[in-house]
Structure 1
């Protein structure tokens, strides 16, 4: 006899709670048959459908996962006990899991600390959200340029009260750190600091240890950092004590501020001195002296964009018509964007190298954590056949899938928790070395509640990430097949593991290639001709009055030691980009560029080791050389003359200068950027830097004491703070070398984690095929053929990983190199070697387990048969 519509009967069976199903279904069937007699089949079917739909309500619908009658506490305790026993029972694989996860978590935490430090740059200052820096864009020759260096006139205009509705305070600071000799009695130190207006202390919210922030109102005052005050005065309160600056200025200490943390823009400042002291009483209304930073604090409710719109054209009434053609436009750059968003190209704010580095490190940290989690997933699912019987028994005695999922997640949480504890120990051990490499001062915030909450969330995330696939996969086994012995993980079951291995080795290969490319780029920059001889060249700041009039005496005495070949002076360091000036004119001029200008003594070229392309050096035999100049290749190209030597160049009201010679470009900025057009003038006045060329045959360790003795005899009051120019030049590679060292560290970690996972996986595969190997050996298979049989699959996966990683690496690193004007080129041997190295390494890892299984006694593996 036909019954109700089957589709709705199945629908009712699907959603109804099992405990209610027999009773409700009986009532429905009884009603259906009664209605069929009264209304016929069509009417009974329609009423049946309506009743089923009305029964689809919360009280009757079965839960997604069936609830257990056990108490959660007892169940979870059982899960943890079982998980702990499994860890102890399989110590080798537990060590791989915990060790791999701990290494991955420690690395991810370390990178997270570094990223947090970068993102919190300058947050030390109380007015962080309202401090802005005044910058400007100028356009000419179809290009735009952004500069943060301004005239005192612009700063004074913003301070004169006209813009009080926008700014709480405006402060001018001498652009760039100034090196000065600060002395108290016999204690003398060469220190870096800033010259700024009195409101600067309040703007930067200096944390004062002694005195007050507004201690720069007097022109003869100074604020010292706590570390400098300690060096000068010990533990004595230094307020109202007197220090000498460059043996010229007697300054009274009006305050001592706590050392600024490393993650602030001003962290290198050991002192703050009055701007009036630097300017020497000259006016503050000049519009042609570009050597000031201008900072401001916005009033509440005013943002940088609003204020920028108001002051955009503030310069136009105060500059000449030639400058107006460059369309100078002033804007405000907020402090939160100084560190990571301070790069401009063609007048537009672009993604900076620092921000890219933050992204790269974040991606690397995520990849390393993913690799560690992949190890856990692979080893957990590889043991599926061992855990299958356990799952089958649990399901046959009433366990639901949700309970099994909870059990496997519990094991994952236990492993992740243990790994986190180990990772904290690893992090604590690694932090000092990481700080040294990354030039940071990171600390573990043990007392921060936010830190522990973040760590808890991180551990939970890791546990879910690592345990999700094993929990869902292992809990899905059919108990009937398992207990009948017909369950066997087929090729499809191993496919996810194979994909994960490919992902692991692809990431590892990409990091290895990136590391090698970074090191190649560094070496490429180091082998670039510097334009002068760095080796054996010493530099010394000679700005104190004691050096005045001592040049020739000092030069002769140093040469008499037999250690020094030549000595010279200059107004700027040889590898500094300071000293830019415009206002030059020449025959056939079509542009108005700025040149890097430097003043030197006659012996400068011989001392630093210039390389002449054309013309000659300055000479004391030619008195007329005082009106001569030497230019570099970049300046020669900019002038557009076919043969510049002998031609004239005029510089505003300073007169006309004759080009004596052309030297090779000297690298002053980054070794990876284009060199600057430079003009070198002759002078012996106001020289601040002294250079000494050691003889090639002299040992520097023997030369330094002899040189120091000369300075102690002739200029005893000045500190002998020398540096080797080679060391200063090497510091130009600091950022790239830090990236290279960290990339090397992370690459080694990824390889170790990947190989750990591969080792564990190979051991399980060998264990699963023990009987097969035994039978093959009985039938005459050789050790070599058995090794090939077990290694073949892993080699295929690594080859696939190479096919994925090598093209991606090429594209990624090619784009990275494009950010450098001067860069190396990618070559195919690098990629071949990287792929071959990965293949060999994976074979070595797999071969241990493969050979161990191949040489084992087949009798032991077949004994149960």
Structure 2
């Protein structure tokens, strides 16, 4: 018994002693690490800053990518929610569109038991007033009563189940409730009045729609508030709204899509669809709507998510490589330290532990700085991207990411230097003979080539993306939109009397060169999309086209080029037929020929919609959408009796601000209820490229940061190389070498590395950028030779600037000091 107790005591003492030894050892490692940082402050600072920038960029891009991939994930039923698409096949061309008929939702809900709920979604704008306060509400959405049952937009007030059942019901967002009523508390049951005297009752208040929602609105109005009996509102040929569907649990949407194909056959049999065209509805998961998009339109954001995710990985990898190069470049200064530690009994495992601990400390400090940088940068990034970007510091998954990042970066960046330095030959390093390892040198140079290849890929890709963006912004749209100032005018008077008064006032202004009016504005997405029937070679056929209702002088005002036929004219108007102009795309799709003498093939004089419209002219294709989209068939129709709500004015070049002020004064004299919201046409169209502009800016910012981080790695390698060649530089100076000659000799190897990196990057960039440009309907003609040459010159210039500091510093040392021990 006594012997057992004594043995136990001995074991405990031994284990306590071992524990104390480990604590002492780690304390010693920590002190050594801190002393090393203090002795090599520049390298420690560069390492920390490089890692901090790399980790911060990674986390910022992680937040951005996470936001982009989270679209519509907050809906509890998101896996059962679908967007209806209309798939069209006309001749050999296939395209899909999200615009559907107002008849689709009620029809499929009635006839297909797999559908639990369905809603139409018509996004428009409208004027509403309360107590003499008039507001134009952008994103005023008309939806069916099923809408609140399908989507989880949080109601602050009101009953979601009943809010949109009754006609003339409206649900406002928090922001608009405060604009109308000052707060959300007393908003319910208030009555808002529209421009024509129609009244709607506030039946609910919802929180503002998050930025990661495909469905964006400022108000929801019950769909049964609209008069669906006029203007062929329910026609299957009019595709102007979106349809969303909630399938019942357990329904296979792919199998259901096949079943939904029977709807086309049924409608074709009834003569509603032309049998020569494939036109069928299909469902797309709502989770794919933002990322994937659909064929024939601006493709989704998925490719940009991949790009930014790749950039995040590149920057972090480059930062890790930097640390490896920095650590190994400073190995000469610590060679004797390693040798002495081995002499006094340190094992290689202990040395590796020491160097890994140093890596962990540096990475931890860099991560702290990175988190500060992230917190300071997120508001700017949110503003730049127009997205609600937050990191979520209390989110356990995010905290786990940070911890995992620290451990992973510590391991990746510290492992190679730890093994490299712990393998030094004790006798050689204590004699001061630091032997170069050709394999290690090749690896180090290979890492620099790798990181500069990544940098070159990002630099060249940024340049090409900027050229594409510049091309889209500056391409000739087919009309003159310079100095065109547009005023929305919602005339509620009889026969447009207020509109006539307003136009007459504007015509009296000598600084306004011309005036016209239209039902829509290029870039506004507010034009109608109608189905036009006609006879082609004796057979009835139809084409879906965009429609602008305008005054007769609209084409002249816009500078639209006529290719054939007459212009619009009030004198040509008859009561039985509306004169229209069509574009080249309409002619091509219809199968007509501009110069044909065959009256059945010549577009001029063709009758559309059973003779209700007559083609009097053909105009050159114009862009009314962004260059992401191909030009579609278009019709400009002369409809003077329509309430054309957009007044176009072309201003003189002098005193634009003064002229705009006079336009606003004329507007206020006639319409006191409605706020003035004029805008320049070119600025309105430029908003079509807002997302592209934001992405190019983000890409440019992170490209610059990538180059900076890569230069830090080159800085480390240059330091290592020049430290090894200090005596060589001294001997060359003694033998009469000039500073320029020394600079040329030292920088030659680095320039070769950068050139090799650019050559490797070229085929990679060619492959991926050509695929990216193919996603645009109209792409810039990139001169790749010039891009590659200039990018290479810039890369070499950056490398020379980075290296030159070390070379000049080494060349400035007195050769006597360098060679005195030889």
Moved more, 427-436 or 510-519: 427-436
Q: Name the counterpart of 1:431.
A: 378
**1:285-304 → structure 2 map (5 Å cutoff):** 287-304=236-253
Moved more, 570-579 or 514-523: 570-579
- Are the structure 2 counterparts of residues 152 and 525 from structure 1 closer, same or farther at C-alpha, using a change threshold of 3 Å? closer
- Are the structure 2 counterparts of residues 400 and 576 from structure 1 closer, same or farther at C-alpha, using a change threshold of 3 Å? same
Distance in 2 separating the partners of 1:633 and 1:327: 23
Distance in 2 separating the partners of 1:286 and 1:584: 13
**1:219-238 → structure 2 map (5 Å cutoff):** 219-235=167-183, 236-238=185-187
Q: Name the counterpart of 1:593.
A: 543
Distance in 2 separating the partners of 1:353 and 1:159: 28
1:451 aligns to 2:395 (yes or no): no
**1:489-638 → structure 2 map (5 Å cutoff):** 489-546=436-493, 548-576=496-524, 578-586=527-535, 588=537, 592-624=542-574, 627-638=578-589
Distance in 2 separating the partners of 1:389 and 1:462: 27
Q: Name the counterpart of 1:241.
A: 190
Q: Name the counterpart of 2:290.
A: 339
> Is the CA contact (8 Å cut-off) linking 1:607 and 1:691 kept in structure 2?
no
> Is the CA contact (8 Å cut-off) linking 2:190 and 2:201 kept in structure 1?
yes
SS in 2 for 1:314: helix
Match of 1:647 among 597, 604, 608: 604
1:266 aligns to 2:222 (yes or no): no
Give 1:93 shift: 0.9
Give 1:485 shift: 4.1
1:678 aligns to 2:625 (yes or no): no
Distance in 1 separating the partners of 2:283 and 2:21: 62
SS in 2 for 1:823: coil
Match of 2:71 among 121, 126, 135: 121
1:745 aligns to 2:701 (yes or no): yes
TM-score normalised to the size of structure 1? 0.86
Give 1:171 shift: 2.0
- Are the structure 2 counterparts of residues 259 and 92 from structure 1 closer, same or farther at C-alpha, using a change threshold of 3 Å? same
Q: Name the counterpart of 2:782.
A: 826
SS in 2 for 1:842: helix
SS in 2 for 1:182: strand
Q: Name the counterpart of 1:80.
A: 30
Distance in 2 separating the partners of 1:816 and 1:123: 27
> Is the CA contact (8 Å cut-off) linking 1:371 and 1:754 kept in structure 2?
yes
1:779 aligns to 2:731 (yes or no): no
Distance in 2 separating the partners of 1:244 and 1:182: 5
**1:280-429 → structure 2 map (5 Å cutoff):** 280=228, 287-319=236-268, 320-321=270-271, 322-344=273-295, 352-429=299-376
1:217 aligns to 2:168 (yes or no): no
- Are the structure 2 counterparts of residues 633 and 89 from structure 1 closer, same or farther at C-alpha, using a change threshold of 3 Å? same
Give 1:740 shift: 1.9
Distance in 2 separating the partners of 1:799 and 1:311: 57
Distance in 1 separating the partners of 2:312 and 2:521: 39
Q: Name the counterpart of 1:171.
A: 119
> Is the CA contact (8 Å cut-off) linking 1:156 and 1:285 kept in structure 2?
no
Q: Deviations over 1:266-315 (max 9, x none)?
A: 23x01000111123567997544433422222223334234334433134
> Is the CA contact (8 Å cut-off) linking 2:513 and 2:651 kept in structure 1?
yes
- Are the structure 2 counterparts of residues 657 and 345 from structure 1 closer, same or farther at C-alpha, using a change threshold of 3 Å? closer
> Is the CA contact (8 Å cut-off) linking 1:546 and 1:715 kept in structure 2?
no
Q: Deviations over 1:370-404 (max 9, x none)?
A: 11111111011112222222222223333222222
Q: Name the counterpart of 2:136.
A: 190
1:135 aligns to 2:135 (yes or no): no
Give 1:592 shift: 4.0
- Are the structure 2 counterparts of residues 280 and 540 from structure 1 closer, same or farther at C-alpha, using a change threshold of 3 Å? farther
Q: Deviations over 1:657-696 (max 9, x none)?
A: 141x333322111224432221211102343431222332
Matched positions, count: 789
Distance in 2 separating the partners of 1:859 and 1:456: 50
Distance in 2 separating the partners of 1:285 and 1:615: 34
> Is the CA contact (8 Å cut-off) linking 2:584 and 2:633 kept in structure 1?
yes
Distance in 1 separating the partners of 2:152 and 2:773: 40
> Is the CA contact (8 Å cut-off) linking 2:627 and 2:777 kept in structure 1?
no
Unaligned 5+ runs, structure 1: 1-67
SS in 2 for 1:129: helix
- Are the structure 2 counterparts of residues 132 and 810 from structure 1 closer, same or farther at C-alpha, using a change threshold of 3 Å? closer
Match of 1:665 among 621, 630, 633: 621
1:861 aligns to 2:818 (yes or no): yes
> Is the CA contact (8 Å cut-off) linking 1:401 and 1:475 kept in structure 2?
yes
Give 1:586 shift: 5.0
Give 1:83 shift: 1.9
> Is the CA contact (8 Å cut-off) linking 2:522 and 2:625 kept in structure 1?
no
SS in 2 for 1:751: helix
Q: CA RMSD in A?
A: 2.6
SS in 1 for 2:117: strand
SS in 2 for 1:675: coil
> Is the CA contact (8 Å cut-off) linking 2:326 and 2:716 kept in structure 1?
yes
> Is the CA contact (8 Å cut-off) linking 1:567 and 1:692 kept in structure 2?
yes
- Are the structure 2 counterparts of residues 500 and 713 from structure 1 closer, same or farther at C-alpha, using a change threshold of 3 Å? same
Distance in 2 separating the partners of 1:532 and 1:733: 18
Q: Name the counterpart of 1:473.
A: 420
